[in-house]
Amino acid sequence: MPRQVRAEVTREAVLRGAATIFMRLGYANASLSEIIDEAGVTKGALYFHFGSKEELARAVIDTGVERFGEAVQMRLRQRGPALESAIETSVLNVDLSESDAVVRAMFRLIVEIGDYRGDETRPFDRWIEAMRELMTRAKDEGDLADHVDVETLSTVLLQSLIGARTVAEALGRGDRLTEQIEGMWSVMLPAIVPDGKADYFLQFVARRLRV
């Protein structure tokens, strides 16, 4: 295996191992020795890529943000109705967390670490802007009630999506995130869509989350 490819494989193994330990123990309780054991690499291999636990945690965040963002952009390129696209984004929140340990750990670490200093992508800024664009388009498409303020709704949606995950993990219900997200939409949709459209969007949520 060429050296560069071998280095990339090792780095990915370290990221996956770190993500698993951070999810199991949290940032504060995780140790580099546990991460090394989980990743199946040597101490030297870990330190070749990452100089400290904090640097490794921030790399998990950056990588998770990048992967989540790429998946969202692929979904948005399908250019369906904007409110459906926002629902699809919440489905990705669930799906990627189940299939990619790095994405799942990213969502936990981004809250635990607090003072985020990664590669300066500023994920919350990116996410709120993406949600604002979707809600603006949803309003133009007639899928939001006249009284709904786009700016406020965008913030509340992001808070709700991050909050649903954080609460689920804190209560040991990470495997029930689908329920949490479906419950969020079941409360929110009747309050934000025009009369007569709630049933359609609630059914859309149920279909997409239970695929």
What confidence category does residue 118 fall into, taking pLDDT thresholds of 50, 70 and 90? low
The mean of the pLDDT values for the chain is: 88
Per-residue model confidence (pLDDT) at position 174: 67
Q: What is the mean pLDDT of residues 162-173?
A: 79
State both tokens at 126.
């990116």
Cα–Cα separations (whole angstroms), residue 166 to 56, 65, 112, 197: 21, 16, 10, 30
Per-residue model confidence (pLDDT) at position 208: 83
Cα–Cα separations (whole angstroms), residue 170 to 17, 31, 83, 124, 176: 21, 20, 29, 21, 12
Q: Which CATH architecture has domain 62-209?
A: Orthogonal Bundle (1.10)
Where is 53: in which H helix or E strand? helix 53-76
Q: What is the mean pLDDT of residues 110-116?
A: 73
Q: Over the stretch 70-105, which tens digit does the pLDDT of each residue have?
A: 888 887 777 789 999 999 888 888 888 788 999 999
The answer to whether residue 179 scores a pLDDT higher than 70 is yes
Phi-psi region of 42 (alpha: psi -120 to 50; beta: other; left: phi over 0): beta
The answer to whether residue 115 scores a pLDDT higher than 70 is no
State both tokens at 16.
């996956």
Per-residue model confidence (pLDDT) at position 134: 93
Per-residue model confidence (pLDDT) at position 80: 84
Residues 108 and 169 sit within 8 Å (Cβ to Cβ):
yes
Domain locations in the chain as residue ranges: 62-209
Q: Over the stretch 126-150, which tens digit does the pLDDT of each residue have?
A: 889 989 999 999 999 999 999 999 9
Per-residue model confidence (pLDDT) at position 177: 80
